[in-house]
C-alpha cells in the first residue's frame, strides 16, 4: 500500500510539470482477462476519467465489474502518450467450489498504468496494466492483468 501511495504522489507531481492536453472522448473495447466496454472522458488539462464495464471469467469462475479510473496523461512524442491513474472497481463474482456455486459482491481500489497511441485518424490503441486490491468481501484477492484496448476517438 505504501508503494501505491508513493507512485500516486510521483504521478501527481509529474502530471503538474508535463502538459498534455486530453481533449478527445473515446469509446471502444478493452481485452484482457475478459472483455470490457470502455469509455474515456476528458476532465481538465491532462486528466480524464476512464469508465469500463466488463465481463471476466473462464471455466468455473467469472465476474461482472464496473471500473472508474481517474487518469493523468503525459505525452511522449506525437501521438504516443503514457498514463497512470487510480480509482475503484465494484461488481459481482461467481465461482464453483466442491460442486456448489457461490457468488458475492466486491469492492476494490485499482491502479492503472499504460501506453497509448492516437493515430491521425480517430483510432486509439493502448496497452495497460491494472492491478486491483479487493477489500470487500475480505481484504486481499488482488486481480491484475495486462489489457489491449481499441477505441474510436470523437
DSSP state of 60: T
Coil, strand or helix at 55: strand
Pairwise CA distance, residues 35 & 33, whole Å: 7
3-state SS, residue 99: coil
- 2 three-class SS: helix
CATH class of 2-153: mainly beta
- 123 class by beta-carbon count within 10 Å (0-12 exposed, 13-18 middle, 19+ buried): middle
pLDDT tens for each residue of the chain, 154 residues long: 565 555 554 544 544 444 445 678 999 999 988 899 999 999 988 999 999 999 987 777 788 899 999 999 999 999 999 999 999 999 888 877 787 777 888 899 999 999 999 999 999 999 999 999 988 876 666 677 899 999 999 9
User: pTM for this one?
Assistant: 0.79
Q: SS3 sequence, 28-45? A: EEEECCEEEEEEEEECCC
Amino acid at each position: 500500500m505504501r508503494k501505491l501511495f508513493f507512485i500516486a504522489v510521483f504521478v501527481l507531481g509529474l502530471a503538474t510539470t508535463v502538459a498534455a492536453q486530453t481533449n478527445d472522448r473515446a469509446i471502444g473495447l478493452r481485452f484482457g482477462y475478459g472483455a470490457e466496454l470502455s469509455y474515456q472522458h476528458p476532465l481538465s488539462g491532462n486528466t480524464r476519467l476512464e469508465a469500463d464495464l466488463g465481463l471476466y471469467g473462464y471455466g468455473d469462475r467469472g465476474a461482472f465489474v464496473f471500473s472508474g479510473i481517474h487518469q493523468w496523461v503525459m505525452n511522449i512524442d506525437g501521438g504516443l502518450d503514457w498514463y497512470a491513474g487510480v480509482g475503484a472497481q465494484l461488481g459481482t463474482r461467481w465461482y464453483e467450489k466442491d460442486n456448489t456455486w457461490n457468488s458475492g459482491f466486491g469492492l476494490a481500489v485499482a491502479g492503472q498504468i499504460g501506453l497509448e497511441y492516437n493515430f491521425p485518424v480517430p483510432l486509439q490503441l493502448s496497452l495497460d496494466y491494472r492491478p486491483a486490491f479487493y477489500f470487500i468481501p475480505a481484504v486481499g484477492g488482488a486481480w491484475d492483468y495486462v489489457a489491449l484496448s481499441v477505441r474510436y476517438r470523437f
